[in-house]
Structure 1
């Protein structure tokens, strides 16, 4: 079996961003001020952050660092997000970028890990957004399970500093699906949301 860190993350990232685009399309203006499971963001700020992540993964490939793009975009719409996701796919089409050293917000890693990190970001924040606006909150398990495997390997619960980059792992509900469990691994409590 191929180790998760050797799997090409580009199709996973693509599927995760397609799911998020669908969720962004479902956001109504009267939902913008709703809270989300991510304490930092209400729905509008979370949508703007998701768009920001789309720009940052492009900047990592093109410039070697996300620092030229704000983490929270002035845009929050699904069309901008979808355009950035498509551009990211084109930007990351070169296989050589996968193993190239890059500087991410978390420090130095490979391009491959950066794509896994941004797929994780899309899936976890997608879950945040979905539960906040009352949409189905489970992404395709074929996207979630390899992402979860990578993050369990590279961000074990025991090695975390509280809040950096995630809070402590939350014990999942017995009936939690894979996306909810990934959100729990990232420190999200789902008990008040689902």
Structure 2
């Protein structure tokens, strides 16, 4: 993959930031399509994963960062996410980071590939949150198309083992948009949160 993922990461990040702003306190304990996470845990993972990719972009070890944010008050998720996003922008500002070797949970790769993988994760969790919150905003189809392309590249086989953090692919619903196709490819479905 030779594309610079930073612009699409920025769009995906702005989109999830807007979505986090819509979360109401009574929704925090609600279910999500990511069946092991309620909304609060999903927000913790979104913020923690963002902190992790900031460390990776700065040349640190992605495995040294826990992918969950601790100590965030229920009314502090939006601010915590914005702060983590600032760290990401600083860490990935230098073009040289795209071709530098980095270490992420799935192995050693280039910064470009790592950040592309985090676009896929961010967009997937955006869909999870969007579904859990009752689809409060329109989502950007272009970031979902990018994430779907990454997902099919890094997870080309529909059947997944226990060592992969995504379930086996499901059939996408008839007429599904890019988010629906991405969710299905990663083993998710909207009925889990409804």
TM-score scaled to structure 1, two decimals? 0.90
1:53 maps to which residue? Answer: 49
2:116 maps to which residue? Answer: 116
Residues 105 and 155 of structure 1: CA distance in aligned 2, closer, same or farther (over 3 Å): same
The one-character-per-residue Cα deviations of 1:71-97 (angstroms, maximum 9, x if unpaired) are: 110226111111211221121011111
C-alpha RMSD over aligned residues: 1.8
Residues 79 and 38 of structure 1: CA distance in aligned 2, closer, same or farther (over 3 Å): same
1:155 maps to which residue? Answer: 155
Q: CA deviation at 1:30?
A: 0.6
Residues 80 and 99 of structure 1: CA distance in aligned 2, closer, same or farther (over 3 Å): same
1:70 maps to which residue? Answer: 66
**Contact residue 37 and residue 132 of structure 1 kept, 8 A:** yes
Pick one of 23, 32, 40 that aligns with 1:27: 23
Q: Does 1:44 align with 2:30?
A: no
Q: CA deviation at 1:162?
A: 4.1
Q: Which runs of 5+ in 1 are unaligned?
A: none
SS of 2:147 mapped into structure 1: helix
**Contact residue 17 and residue 82 of structure 2 kept, 8 A:** yes
1:104 maps to which residue? Answer: 104
Q: CA deviation at 1:53?
A: 0.8
Q: Which residues of 2 match residues 133-172 of structure 1 at below 5 A?
A: 133-136=133-136, 139-158=139-158, 160-162=160-162, 164-172=164-172
In the aligned structure 2, how far is the partner of 1:80 from the partner of 1:192? 27
In the aligned structure 1, how far is the partner of 2:137 from the partner of 2:32? 13
Q: Which residues of 2 match residues 85-100 of structure 1 at below 5 A?
A: 85-100=85-100
Q: CA deviation at 1:165?
A: 2.4
Q: CA deviation at 1:159?
A: 6.8
In the aligned structure 1, how far is the partner of 2:153 from the partner of 2:47? 27
